[in-house]
Amino acid sequence: MTEILSLYPRLVVDGADAALAFYTAAFGAETLDRHTDPDGRVVHAMVAAGPVRFAVKDADGYDPAPTTGGVPVIIALYVTDADEVARRMVANGATAIFEVDDQPYGERGGRLADPFGHLWMIAQHTEL
């Protein structure tokens, strides 16, 4: 049976660096890691505020910010077998947005929409 390892929200925003500065000032948060695309947009920044972890990313063509009518949160679920969880989700009514595949940042994962409209990033850590 596949184990669930962790879950955190990914906040989609217009202006991730401004959001990171806000969370630092408002919550005393610390940015643990930050990855950008070739244009400099933040595709993933993991934030720690006390014992709480959440991610922030810039809005893009796939993930519009809630200020423009997009989904405000993507749920990131880490498991021991992303392929198996994605198969079970699809078998029970989810739709694959991005198929599970090896990612260049050391994960195997994909994005699915559940039958209720929530977006899930299903991933597992792999060796680089």
Q: Give me the phi and psi of 20, to 5 degrees please.
A: -60, -40
103, 125, 128, 101: which is closest to 112 by C-alpha? 101
pLDDT in tens, 107-121: 999 999 998 788 999
48, 19, 21: which is closest to 33 by C-alpha? 48
What per-residue confidence (pLDDT) applies to 33?
94
* Tokens describing residue 31: 């940015």
Q: What is the DSSP letter of 94?
A: -
Instruction: Give the CA-trace dihedral at 41, 45, 49, 52, to 10 degrees.
Output: 130
What per-residue confidence (pLDDT) applies to 110?
97
What per-residue confidence (pLDDT) applies to 128?
52
Q: Which domains does the chain have, with CATH numbers?
A: 4-125 (3.10.180.10)
pLDDT in tens, 65-95: 988 887 778 999 999 999 999 999 999 999 9
pTM summary value: 0.78
pLDDT in tens, 20-71: 999 999 899 999 999 999 999 999 999 999 999 999 999 999 899 988 887 7
User: How far is residue 124's CA from residue 54's CA, in Å, rounded to a whole number?
Assistant: 17
